[in-house]
Amino acid sequence: MRWLMELTVLLALAAPANAVEQELEQSVAGRTTFATLRTPAAMTPDTPLVVMTHGTLAHKDMEVIQGVAKALEQRGIASLAHTLSLGLDRRKGMYDCAVRHDYVVADAVAEIGAWVARAGGMSRLVFAFGHSRGGNQVARYLASETPLAGAVLLAPVTAKAEADLRASYVKTYGKPLEPFLELATKAVAAGRGGEWMDVPGFIYCRNAVVTARALASFYGPDAGQDTAALVARIKLPVLVLAATKDNVVPDVADAFAPLAGSSGGRVQLDKIEDADHFFRDLFAEDVADRIAEFIKQTR
């Protein structure tokens, strides 16, 4: 019965463990960034290590990241979950919308690369993991960098999701995006990307203050927003996990199905039944099971 299965899982998670949890930090582009390293008791250079990148404006300690990381540790897999700086020094927790925004997509790619490099000194089997927008950022990194052992994209944002975000701007914030984006694009082209702008909204933040380069980076034309197209260029094995009740990025399965069907098994697409975009509670166990099997296949 399901209640008995749930009790068994909860007891296993509550049992004393010999896992090691360590807080790390390193400087990237002059900003100190943080990460949590979780390792099983028998950590060796051959223990798989998953570098985990969170979603939009989030952080390494959010529920979906912690839940999956702890479930991976139960399966003998280490993780290194980091917090993107988003232009701030020593950032922790969710991004405060009252704070000015000055960061671009390339910043996240550079920070992912720095933590992947750090992980390479701990394990010979390093995998990259990204949730939501973090999935797209991981794909951007892998499309331009030396391949690792593999990658896992959990409910990654899609080209359609990004297009819908732009299209809904006027409905969400009461003013059209285009005039602000035009001003930002012109400022960047003129070398004034650091100019501050007051805008009705930025991503999830209402009445935001942003730099021109930040607005142009997130809302301007960008082929890199098509995560599936990026994955098509990547040579290493990739596992894409979609939630069947995802109302944030509902088209993950549709976006990746053609690629999964034509990649000869390099790209795998799996669905987590009844999970939403954040894979709470026991759905994190389902995610960890899929990742563990994927890692086993790639070794």
pLDDT higher than threshold 90 for residue 75: yes
Work out the percent of the chain whose per-residue pLDDT is above 70: 94
- Of 204, 222, 240, the domain-final residue: 222
Number of domains comprising the chain: 2
Q: Are residues 117 and 189 in the same domain?
A: no
CATH for 289: 3.40.50.1820
Question: Which helix (H) or strand (E) is 264 found in, with range?
Answer: none
Q: How far apart, in whole angstroms, are the C-alpha atoms of residue 260 and residue 297?
A: 16
Which of 172, 165, 108, 177 has the alpha carbon at shortest distance from 140?
A: 108
Structural domain range at position 168: 160-222
pLDDT higher than threshold 70 for residue 22: yes
Q: Are residues 124 and 263 in the same domain?
A: yes
pLDDT higher than threshold 80 for residue 73: yes
Query: What type of residue is 86?
Result: L
Q: Are residues 196 and 108 in the same domain?
A: no
Q: Are residues 32 and 131 in the same domain?
A: yes
Question: What pTM value is reported for the model?
Answer: 0.92
Q: How far apart, in whole angstroms, are the C-alpha atoms of residue 6 and residue 52?
A: 26
| Tokens matching residue 36 | 């949590």
pLDDT higher than threshold 50 for residue 196: yes
Q: Are residues 284 and 168 in the same domain?
A: no
Which of 218, 275, 214 has the alpha carbon at shortest distance from 250?
A: 275
pLDDT higher than threshold 70 for residue 288: yes
pLDDT of 156 reads: 98
Higher pLDDT, 95 or 146: 95
Q: What is the mean pLDDT of residues 149-167?
A: 96
Q: Are residues 69 and 152 in the same domain?
A: yes
Q: Are residues 15 and 144 in the same domain?
A: yes
Calculate the CA 124 to chain-centre distance: 22
Q: Are residues 191 and 154 in the same domain?
A: no
- At 129-149, the pLDDT tens digits run 999 999 999 999 999 877 799
pLDDT of 8 reads: 36
Q: How far apart, in whole angstroms, are the C-alpha atoms of residue 1 and residue 87?
A: 48
- Of 187, 222, 257, the domain-final residue: 222
Q: Are residues 120 and 72 in the same domain?
A: yes
pLDDT of 255 reads: 97
Q: Are residues 109 and 13 in the same domain?
A: yes
Q: What is the mean pLDDT of residues 117-135?
A: 97
pLDDT higher than threshold 80 for residue 123: yes
pLDDT higher than threshold 90 for residue 9: no
Buried b (16+ CB within 10 A) or exposed e, 60-97: bbbebbbbbbbbbbbbbbbbbbbbbbbbbeebeeebeb
Q: Which long-range contacts (CB under 8 A, 24 or more apart) does 11-20 make?
A: 12/74, 13/70, 13/74, 17/41, 17/73, 17/74, 19/73
Question: Which helix (H) or strand (E) is 187 found in, with range?
Answer: helix 178-189
pLDDT of 3 reads: 36
- Of 185, 204, 222, the domain-final residue: 222
pLDDT of 18 reads: 67
Q: Are residues 27 and 90 in the same domain?
A: yes
Q: Are residues 97 and 129 in the same domain?
A: yes
By the 10 Å C-beta count (0-12 exposed, 13-18 middle, 19+ buried), 120 is classed as middle
- At 48-67, the pLDDT tens digits run 999 999 999 999 999 999 99
